[in-house]
Structure 1
């Protein structure tokens, strides 16, 4: 479960220190290399809930193995790519290939919980959260090391052995078959539960929205309009079908779950602003090479591991989110203290500070969704959490590109910090307003809304 679920976050972050080198090698400006980030985000935002739904219908094994094979293919295409746009295609394939791991893990956890009667496998959930949040912050350091050893192409080629590892362990340990949930037992091979029109409308809605978010401009006013029209059509379709891809009624009636999705979006926005913006500032304004910039980011990982390991021992969720909210505000404020002449020790200290809320909040949000989601929809609900996270990540690219413009220097970094502070304040307000968190995951009330 861990190996499959980390493929997506490691590929999300490993590219952060590679963009400059890729741009130089292929003669591409930053306005084009940013598509290497956005392409994965778009593919993942669309693919995660789709994979989750397919896992609910057909079980985790076939989807997990298919995703691993696509990941290996993407690594090969990227390693041999002759141009930037072939690299973008590789990132799209990579996005879809890495979508299966996390929903499959959450599905297996819920199935095991049902089998054993244990309502909250807190230890396993903690391991899963630690692995995912650790890998995403190790990514920049790993990327810097790979570039040092084998050039930027090695950041794509690393997916080949990772995919082979997933294929091997998946074929050995994943169950050969998994009985579909009760709702999908009608029809041949569960086909009655596969809402293809809903999936297509969902994908089209997200593509329209994301294309606008990646390049917000008044000349693109028609994209959000198209997104709204498609979203309305999706809502009508899903309300009328017996087995919808997105259970609109359940989502609309589950404010705690929607609040968790909103928190997932905001924490991803804050973390990715730092994850991509800070190394860019380190390389362009402090003159650090990619390897050193990656090492500066490494304390974020170490701190997130320690915080998650300690906090994971307690099932209570609200306290983690409140502490994480306060730490997030403090970490963003620390960025305002960074100056061009700041001592070197302050740079990893800033990474360490952002690791505290990252460890607390991601662990708490994952646990909240596990308890708040309909058990019959845990795969697609977990996938939808990743969709919201990638919407936040795309929002971070908007903020990063808006504030860290060529020549913006430390002033641009400070403007980005204010943007992160605003998102952190909203995160805190949503958490304070959600009273259901007092009982979620504690066993003292109903978990699902």
Structure 2
């Protein structure tokens, strides 16, 4: 008896699985890590003022040590992730990250708190590099862009809900409860990491010391472009509430919620398009939309009076546009960095991508603060951000996207 060939296999059946146990477990653990961090973010300055009676400048320096610690370790994080077994490295740096929450509460000297804050950033930098790499290892290459988009939602959800939760807990129950819940959530995350089924990686012989073990030189154009994106976002993290106050806008906390909403919606909708060959075009659209979003933000007070409720409407519309543009940019640049790397360089690729963000954020915060002090208001800060993004957009469209296409065609050829 002859049988006809099964030529009607559905697309869904032929696609490799995305939501595997390792990927889901790693995404959940990553959410818990970021949620524990984000819920502490608005509480820590208040805790420092309350416990140590310090001034704004000293508190700002201590809080910024977290970013400095993360930035300092990023290149070495990629080296460690690519050189050591990833699961133990992920677990033990996550464990040390958890202990830092206890350190904030237990230590009674400000210099010791500063050390803990710096080390918290170091362990954050290594553990997040490891988590990104373990998650990408679990993804089929044909669905990598889609998977990276979904994995990023774990961070976006934490960003949308963490700070709000932290403030509610602090105002209702005090800082000790915030620290305790952060530790409890991290312990659950540690249990998830412990159960991660991670396949052992084959050993690859490489030169003992080479630049590409610390920085993915092949992705330098992407690295440079992404710094500009982080530079523009830095002032949003620190100064948007002050800018809203200058414009007479209340409820500025919703600004971050709308950014998160735009990020999540776009990550869900565009992941598959990235894997279908739209990668460079989607990032280009995101870069251009990002310029428009910051222009709208900087001129919302000027254009707003022309329409009823316009200033508030344009202010929050710019937030949704920023989130939508970043929903295209984030997974796009990370996918490009990973695709440009060898299989044994995925940790380095992720640390290069994350380092660009850290550098941009830090530079944006420092520059934005100086500009605001010089001009006496924050409108010029966001106008400067839009100018920087315009330069980055031109650079991407004229060189970076073409460079990526050329490099990837070499591999196929």
With normalisation by structure 1, the TM-score equals: 0.73
Among 285, 298, 305, the residue aligned to 2:264: 305
In the alignment, what sits opposite 2:200?
A: 178
Correspondence for 1:268: 230
Instruction: Indicate the residue corresponding to 2:90 in structure 1.
Output: 64
Whether 1:384 and 2:348 are equivalent positions in the alignment is no
Q: Give the corresponding residue for 2:321.
A: 353
1:43 lines up with 2:65 in the alignment: no
Whole-Å separation in 2 of the counterparts to 1:84 and 1:11: 22
Q: Which runs of 5+ in 2 are unaligned?
A: 1-25
Q: Which residue of 2 aligns with 1:430?
A: 395
Please give the alpha-carbon distance, in whole angstroms, between the structure 2 residues aligned to 1:100 and 1:250: 14
Q: In the alignment, which of 190, 195, 217 is matched to residue 167 of structure 1?
A: 190
**Matching residue of 2:128:** 102
Structure 1 133/447 Cα, relative in aligned 2: closer, same or farther at 3 Å? farther
Higher-Rg structure is: 2
CA distance in 1: counterparts of 2:210 and 2:188, whole angstroms: 31
Q: Distance in 1 between matches of 2:54 and 2:406?
A: 51
CA distance in 2, matches of 1:337, 1:171: 49
> Partners of 2:75 and 2:173 in 1: how far apart?
35
Query: Could you tell me how far apart the structure 2 residues matched to 1:384 and 1:9 are?
Result: 20
Following superposition, the deviation at residue 406 of structure 1 comes to: 10
Alpha-carbon shift at residue 320 of structure 1 (Å): 1.5
Unaligned runs of 5+ in 1: 185-241
Deviation per CA, 1:14-42: give whole Å up to 9, x if none: 56544663464243333222224421111
Hey, what's the Cα distance between the residues in 2 that align with 1:312 and 1:66? Answer: 31
Matched, 1:365 2:333: yes
* Equivalent-residue separation in structure 2 for 1:14 and 1:280 (angstroms): 20
Q: Per-residue deviation at 1:260?
A: 1.1
Separation (CA, whole Å) in 1 of partners of 2:210 and 2:35 = 28
2:294 aligns to what SS in structure 1?
helix
CA contact (8 A) 1:373 1:448 kept: no
Specify the SS of the correspondent of 1:415: helix
1:314 aligns with 2:241: no
- Asked if residue 278 in structure 1 is aligned to residue 240 in structure 2, the reply is yes
Deviation digits for residues 365-387 of structure 1, max 9, x if unmatched? 11111101222111122112212
The number of equivalent residue pairs is 376
In 2, the alpha carbon distance for the partners of 1:334 and 1:392 equals 21
Which residue matches 1:414?
379
**Aligned partners of 1:447 and 1:29: how far apart in 2?**
55
Q: Given the superposition, is the C-alpha separation of residues 349 and 153 from structure 1 closer, same or farther in structure 2, using an over 3 Å criterion?
A: farther
Residues 326-364 of structure 1: per-residue CA shift (max 9 Å, x gap) = 111111111223339865444433322211112111111
- Asked if the contact 1:49–1:382 (Cα under 8 Å) also holds between the matched residues in 2, the reply is no
Shift of 1:149: 3.3
Matches within 5 A, 1:207-222: none
